[in-house]
Amino acid sequence: TETATLNPFVQIDPDLLQPAKLATRVRVLATDDALWVAARCDDEAGTSGIQQTDLRRDFSLSRGFDWFGVVLDPLGDGRNAFGFFVTPWGSQHDVQVIDDDITETQWDTVWSSAVTRDEKGYTVELKLPWKSLRIDSERLVWGFNAARAVRRTMERTAWSPFPRNFSPFRMPYAGQLVF
């Protein structure tokens, strides 16, 4: 069992590459059955600062909600990815990106999440079972990114920065997760 802590996030919007206004701390853990991702998303406004108008599964990432998510490229090809996002109120969004161009939002796989909220932000826990991901058990390096949106401040942040006209699904800009 290995664990890793990600470096501080930087802004994508509004001020590319500047430090994030609100801290996001992420830990990643690989166990025999799943990849676990935990994130603490600070927000001094607490739950009153969280904005979400849609509680449906597969909510729109571009509609101006608060969310946290990860994008994985387990094939390591820089063109195909899986994204897992959750809002502070627990709505889930999963997506498959094919050939760096086709976004398949109707793709649904088995995964779970838990969210807790408090007066200083929210905490997210994602469990991504290995059997739900197309993985090559011999591949020890994956493309990986973590991102967050804060509607109240109009801020998008990420662990591995990408140009603002792209999404976190652009795996050539992703960092690496090494097992």
Q: Report how far apart, in Å, the C-alpha atoms of 47 and of each of 1, 38, 62, 130 are.
A: 34, 19, 21, 33
Residue 178: band (very low, low, confident or very high) from pLDDT cuts 50, 70, 90: confident
- Tokens describing residue 76: 């390591």
pLDDT for 167 beyond 90: no
pLDDT digit string (tens) for 64-119? 789 999 999 998 889 899 999 999 999 999 999 998 778 887 888 999 999 999 99
Helices then strands, counting H and E runs in the chain, come out as 0, 13
* Residues paired with 125 in a beta bridge: 38, 114
pLDDT of residue 123: 97
pLDDT of residue 105: 79
Cis bond before residue 14 (omega within 30° of 0) = yes
pLDDT for 47 beyond 90: no
Rounded distance between C-alpha atoms, residue 28 and residue 73, angstroms: 15
* Residues paired with 2 in a beta bridge: 30
Rounded distance between C-alpha atoms, residue 74 and residue 82, angstroms: 8
pLDDT over 70, % of the chain: 93
pLDDT of residue 72: 95
pLDDT digit string (tens) for 137-161? 777 889 999 999 999 899 999 999 9
Closest CA to 89 of 64, 105, 67, 106: 67
Entry pTM: 0.91
Angle at 11 between CA 10 and CA 12, to 5 degrees: 125
pLDDT for 38 beyond 80: yes
Phi, psi of 175 (to 5 degrees): -85, -165
* Residues paired with 61 in a beta bridge: none
pLDDT for 30 beyond 80: yes
Rounded distance between C-alpha atoms, residue 62 and residue 149, angstroms: 10
